[in-house]
Amino acid sequence: PRQIWVTRHGESLDNTMGRIGGNASLTKLGKQYGEDLAMFIETKRAEFQDRLFFDVTRESNLMNHGNLSFQGKTYNSSFNNLYSTEHAVSTPIELDPEDEEKIIKPFSVWTSMMKRSMETAAYFDDEQYDIKAMRMLNEICSGICDQHTYEEIKNNYPDEYEARALDKLNYRYPGSGGESYLDVIYRLQSVIVEIERMKHHVLVIGHRVITRIIIAYFLGCRREDIAHLNVPLHTVYCIEPQPYGTNFYQYNYDP
């Protein structure tokens, strides 16, 4: 199945100080997360490519003995055990261009335009991944509360703090560009439509609100629950839409 991967950026300097919004860079740990994330996803991508390769090859009934070279990579693992050596052919095997199209699945990596998100994606090989930054994936804009801690908001803007606690979904931060969850849901609509439409895998390196909304959409959560989903840093989610239902996996990072 096609996979939709979602994660938040690696830990940023603002995260360590409990400040919301801003445009901080990653901490050392955050960079480590980016590096390990790229390695983890690369393993998954390669596994998937192996699987596809295997299926296509079985369908076209090719027999192989020895290493099979494709796109500079060598596949020989389970292959030799499963295929008879009688009809061994020498490598490399030329693939039917149509099959090749099935195999070379582009894998997109989408980030926001914020430093912490783009810095997390910096470890992905742009020859293997189609990497794109888009403003629509930016974190919720917290207007006058930007760069504050929740404690500071509570002390400096008690009415705002209260109003948000009462109705997080509808509450819009005051001040220039301030947004509500509903505003972000609205601006994410076209991104979600594109994710649904595309046939290949995608990894979204987003933010807390972005991650909540994407997961909620694909899992069919109730609107009122979206703003309260627990989506910690350094956690990777994998969504596999199926004809009936959706598979959902969570991977926790252990540095």
Binding site for ligand F6P (CB under 6 A): 20-21, 139-140, 142, 207-209, 227
Our CB check for ligand F6P shows the closer of 204 and 227 to be: 227
Using CA atoms, how far apart are residues 44 and 66, in angstroms rounded to an integer?
A: 24
DSSP assignment string, 104-126: ---EEEEE-SSHHHHHHHTTS-T
Q: How far is the CB of 18 from ligand F6P (least distance, A)?
A: 7
Using CA atoms, how far apart are residues 164 and 193, in angstroms rounded to an integer?
A: 28
Q: Which amino acid is at 216?
A: A
Our CB check for ligand F6P shows the closer of 165 and 198 to be: 165
DSSP assignment string, 67-106: -EEETTEEE-TTHHHHS-STT--PSPPPPPHHHHHHH---
Our CB check for ligand F6P shows the closer of 55 and 225 to be: 225
Our CB check for ligand F6P shows the closer of 18 and 92 to be: 18
> Which residue(s) pair with 70 in the sheet?
73
Question: CB neighbours (10 Å) of residue 67?
Answer: 14
Q: How far is the CB of 99 from ligand F6P (least distance, A)?
A: 43
Our CB check for ligand F6P shows the closer of 3 and 120 to be: 120
Q: How far is the CB of 14 from ligand F6P (least distance, A)?
A: 7
Q: How far is the CB of 209 from ligand F6P (least distance, A)?
A: 5
Q: How far is the CB of 140 from ligand F6P (least distance, A)?
A: 5
Q: How far is the CB of 234 from ligand F6P (least distance, A)?
A: 13
Our CB check for ligand F6P shows the closer of 207 and 234 to be: 207
Strand pairing of 129-133 and 201-206?
Answer: unpaired
Contacts of 42 (CB under 8 A, 6+ apart): 125, 128
Looking at 200-245, which runs of residues are DSSP E strands? Answer: 201-206, 235-241
